[in-house]
Structure 1
């Protein structure tokens, strides 16, 4: 069953987030994931959404998602994401 990581981001220090983003694909492509969405201009159809960007990644299963999220390579670059953006990050299971 596919697992998705969904991140909703509010930029706090864009230069740090941009440094993270410049290194992201080099790390991400080493894992079994697929980047589905990375939209810095989503259109809000209902309610308040005080965020700047949404990212959705697909993985074949929970183990693959955790392998990426917990990898030393991702942990190294995620320091800049955490310093550069306030994030809500979820893992959800597909149907």
Structure 2
């Protein structure tokens, strides 16, 4: 069963956030990740969607998604995002 990492993000410092965009994808790909959604136009159809940017990353398994998020490789990159954006994130099992 695949694992998905989903972020809903509001970038607060676009200039510094560029470094995150450059570094995050190769790190996730080491864990078998495939980006399904990386920003893009959307239409809110129900409820509240807190931030304007949505990211969906598919991993081969739920466990691989967790491994990536908690990895030493991602730790310094995650800090870049946390320092330059407000975000909500989940890891979820899927098909």
Task: Give the structure-2-normalised TM-score.
Answer: 0.87
Matches of residues 19-30 of structure 1 in structure 2 within 5 Å? 19-30=19-30
Map of 1:86 onto structure 2: 86
Matches of residues 1-95 of structure 1 in structure 2 within 5 Å? 1-95=1-95
Task: Give the structure-1-normalised TM-score.
Answer: 0.87
CA distance in 2, matches of 1:20, 1:85: 10
Unaligned runs of 5+ in 2: none
Q: How many aligned residue pairs are there?
A: 95
Which is further off, 64-73 or 43-52? Answer: 43-52
User: Is contact 1:40-1:52 (8 Å) kept?
Assistant: no
Q: CA RMSD in A?
A: 1.6
